[in-house]
């Protein structure tokens, strides 16, 4: 705890604590730094502009087996390509932490599953999700059918795609969403 002071100023620390969803700031910082010790300075009081490339982020043990790791990195990174600054990194793990509220999680889950960033989950997004989940082991027909069923179930306004409301409506009722959509770090 003592050396935290040298990384962040007290004010920064304070601000992070208010903003973030949980408190293991120093731990997260060291995780971030361990990804590329040569790139990340130990002194963050001057807010250096450092970004880690996606290759490093995606190779974290927490993420490397996740089929959606690229999407996660893209959604949370500011440039949309998976290159993350410390802020983005903190952002990511605060959303994925246990203490983040459900709505926040649902919002980001929606973003993650929205592959083409058009703010709607359309059929192609669903197909991508499904293929990632099953490693493309389902046949063409099966994929199509499952996607249709999902649309059928969750699309409340029948516009052929899932909006955020549709998604939230569906996801907040899911019994497993909160327990599975988090990463302990």
Partner 1 sequence: MPRKGAVQADDVSVDIDDEQSDSDDGTTKRRANRRQAGGGRGGGGGAKGRGRGKKAESDEEEEEDEAPKGRRGAQNKRPAKKRGGKKDDDDDDSEEEAPKNKRGGAANKRKGGKGRGGDDEDSPAEKGGKGRKGGKKGGKEEEDSKGKKGDGKGKDEKNKKKKKKDDSSSDSNSNSDEEEDSMSEGEMARLMEEVEEKKKLIANIRNKPWRMKRRLVLLREAQQFVDKFEGALGKGKGRKWYAYKVMMTKKWIKFQRDFENFRTACIPWERKIKEVESHFGSSVASYFIFLRWMYGMNLVLFGLTFGLVVMPEVLMGLPYGSIPRKTVPRAEQDTAQDYAVLMDFNGYCKYSVLFYGYYNDQRTIGLLKFRLPLAYLMVGIGTFGYSLMLVIRTMAKNADVGGGDGDEGEFTFAWKMFTSWDYLIGNAETADNKYASITTSFKESIVDEQENQKDENIHLRRFLRVLANFLITCSLGGSGYLIYFVVKRSQDFATRDDLSWYEKNELELIMSLLGLVCPPLFETIAELEDYHPRIALKWQLGRIFALFLGNLYTFLFALFDEVNTKLEEEQSIKNASIWAMKEYYANFSRLVNDSESTPPPMNPADVIRGPCWETAVGIEFVKLTVSDIQVTYLTILIGDFARAVIVRFLNYCWCWDLEAGFPSYGEFDISGNVLGLVFNQGMIWMGAFYAPGLVGINVLRLLSSMYYQCWAVMATNVPHERVFKASKSNNFYMGLLLLVLFLSLLPVVYTIMSLPPSFDCGPFSGKEKMFDVIMETIDLDLPAFMGTLFSYAANPGLIIPAVLLMVLAIYYLNSVSEAYQNSNMELKKKMQMARDEEKNRRNNTDSTNQVMKDLEDLLPNRSLAPPAPPEPEKPPEPEGKPTKTRGGAAGKGVDLQKDVSLASSNPNAREPVTRAPGARGRGQPPGGRGRGGPPPR
26 binds partner 1 (CB under 8 A): no
27-56 residues in contact with partner 1 (CB under 8 A) are none
Q: What angle do CA 94, 166, 159 make, to 5 degrees?
A: 140
87-146 residues in contact with partner 1 (CB under 8 A) are 87-88, 90-91, 94, 96, 101-104, 106-109, 113, 118-119, 126, 129-130, 133-135, 137-138, 142, 145-146
Would you state the torsion angle of the CA atoms of residues 29, 31, 33, 37, taken in this order, to the nearest 10 degrees?
A: 160
173 binds partner 1 (CB under 8 A): yes
78 binds partner 1 (CB under 8 A): yes
Options 5, 6, 17, 59; binder of partner 1; rule CB under 8 A: 17
152-171 residues in contact with partner 1 (CB under 8 A) are 153-154, 156-158, 163-165, 167-168, 170-171
Query: What is the Cα–Cα distance from 163 to 156, expressed in whole angstroms?
Result: 9
When the beta carbons of 43 and 153 are compared against partner 1, the nearer one is: 153
Options 7, 8, 20, 74; binder of partner 1; rule CB under 8 A: 20
Supply the minimum distance, in Å, between the C-beta of residue 86 and partner 1.
Answer: 8
Supply the minimum distance, in Å, between the C-beta of residue 154 and partner 1.
Answer: 4
């Amino acid at each position: 705890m003592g050396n935290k002071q040298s990384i962040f100023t007290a004010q920064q620390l304070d601000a992070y604590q208010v903003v973030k969803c949980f408190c293991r700031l120093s731990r997260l910082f060291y995780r971030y730094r361990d990804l590329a010790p040569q790139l990340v300075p130990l002194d963050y009081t001057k807010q250096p502009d450092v970004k880690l490339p996606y290759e490093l982020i995606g190779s974290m043990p927490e993420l490397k087996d996740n089929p959606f790791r690229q999407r996660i990195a893209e959604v949370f990174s500011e440039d949309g390509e998976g290159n993350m600054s410390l802020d983005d990194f903190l952002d990511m793990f605060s959303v994925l932490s246990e203490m983040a509220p459900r709505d926040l999680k649902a919002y980001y889950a929606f973003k993650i599953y929205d592959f083409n960033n058009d703010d709607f989950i359309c059929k192609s997004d669903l197909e991508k999700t499904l293929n990632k989940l099953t490693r493309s082991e389902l046949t063409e027909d099966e994929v199509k059918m499952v996607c249709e069923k999902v649309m059928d179930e969750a699309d409340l306004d029948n516009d052929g795609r899932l909006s955020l409301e549709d998604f939230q409506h569906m996801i907040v009722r899911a019994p497993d969403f909160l327990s599975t959509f988090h990463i302990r770090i």
